[in-house]
């Protein structure tokens, strides 16, 4: 049963409803545009719920804006600009869900193999500019696509295989500590990075899906 959650003076019926609300605020703004006074006040209350709120706020909040991830250009996030001229991004989902050590390590593993995902994506579109989603039968475009790990070796299965091969637990995967402009943690042990990337390159079977295909049909198939 979803539990109500109170954030920034508002009570939401569930965490999902809160995420939808803040996601809609994010999508109201073009990159670099300052949030208006109402949304600024709402974001201050949201940021206060972040697991690293003190570090994120730092010298004090000057204003907020929205920016797109500079590395892959697909993820948009809130950015807090501080009174001393510095800035950092933050995830509204982390503000709502709190810290999740397992999620952070899985995201670091995903980030490590992202170059392989990009190479696969580019090769697919170079071969066929308008590929078809094998699950939905609709065209897939560069503006709307997902790269999925084909069952039975989904991403979690590959991680489990690698952990067993390395004889380590997920909590022994070394990742960066929280810091400015770091939405996703990254792996820090070079040997772990090399062995994980090698296994993923060798074992992963990737496929290009439509967003709907990945978020609905693929989950049913799993």
pLDDT score for 179: 65
pLDDT of residue 175: 93
Percent share of the chain, pLDDT over 90: 67
| CA 162-164-165 angle, 5° bins | 65
- What was the pLDDT predicted at 215? 55
pLDDT at position 145 is: 87
Angle at 117 between CA 69 and CA 161, to 5 degrees: 115
Tens-digit pLDDT profile for residues 76-114:
899 999 999 999 989 899 899 987 889 889 989 999 999
pLDDT of 71 > 80? The answer is no
- Strand-pair category, 206-209 with 76-82: unpaired
> Higher-confidence residue: 188 or 137?
188
Domains and CATH numbers, the chain: 5-97 (3.10.450.40), 101-221 (no CATH)
DSSP letters spanning the chain = ----EEETTEEESSHHHHHHHHHHHHHTS-TTPPPPHHHHHHHHHHHTTSTTHHHHHTT-EEEEEEEE-TTTS--EEEEEEETTS-EEEE-HHHHHH---HHHHHHHHHHHHTHHHHHHHHHHHHHH-SS-B-TTT--B-BTTB-EEEEPTTS-HHHHHHHHHHHHT--GGGS-BPPP-TT-SS--B--HHHHHHHHHHHHHH--EEEE-HHIIIIIHHHH-
Tell me, what's the pLDDT at 190?
97
Q: Is 47 left (phi over 0), alpha (psi -120 to 50) or beta?
A: alpha
Note the pLDDT of residue 221.
41
Between the alpha carbon of residue 207 and those of residues 48, 56, 129, 150, 218, the distances in Å are: 40, 37, 15, 6, 11
pLDDT band at residue 213 under the 50/70/90 scheme: low
Tens of pLDDT, residues 22-67? 999 999 999 999 999 999 999 999 999 998 899 899 999 999 999 9
Token readout for 195 is 């062995």
β-strands 76-82, 87-90: how paired?
A: antiparallel
pLDDT at 183 over 80: no
Cis peptide before 98 (omega within 30 of 0): no
**Considering the chain, what is the average pLDDT of its residues?**
89
Question: Residue 119's pLDDT is what?
Answer: 95
């Amino acid at each position: 049963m979803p539990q109500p959650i109170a954030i920034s003076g508002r009570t939401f019926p569930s965490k999902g409803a809160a995420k939808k609300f803040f996601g809609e605020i994010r999508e109201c703004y073009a990159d670099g545009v300052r949030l208006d006074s109402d949304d600024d006040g709402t974001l201050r209350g949201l940021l206060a719920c972040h697991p690293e709120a003190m570090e994120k706020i730092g010298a004090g909040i000057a204003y907020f804006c929205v920016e797109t991830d500079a590395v892959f250009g697909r993820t948009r996030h809130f950015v807090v600009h501080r009174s001393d001229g510095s800035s950092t991004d933050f995830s509204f989902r982390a503000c709502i869900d709190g810290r999740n050590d397992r999620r952070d390590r899985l995201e670091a593993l995903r980030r490590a193999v992202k170059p392989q995902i990009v190479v696969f994506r580019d090769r697919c579109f170079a071969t066929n500019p308008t590929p078809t989603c094998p699950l939905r039968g609709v065209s897939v475009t560069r503006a709307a696509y997902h790269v999925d790990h084909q069952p039975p070796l989904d991403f979690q299965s590959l991680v489990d295989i690698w952990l067993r091969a390395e004889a380590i637990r997920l909590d022994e995967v070394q990742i960066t500590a929280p810091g400015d402009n770091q939405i996703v943690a990254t792996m820090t042990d070079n040997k772990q990075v090399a062995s994980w990337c090698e296994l993923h390159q060798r074992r992963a079977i990737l496929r290009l899906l439509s967003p709907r295909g990945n978020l609905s049909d693929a989950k049913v198939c799993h």
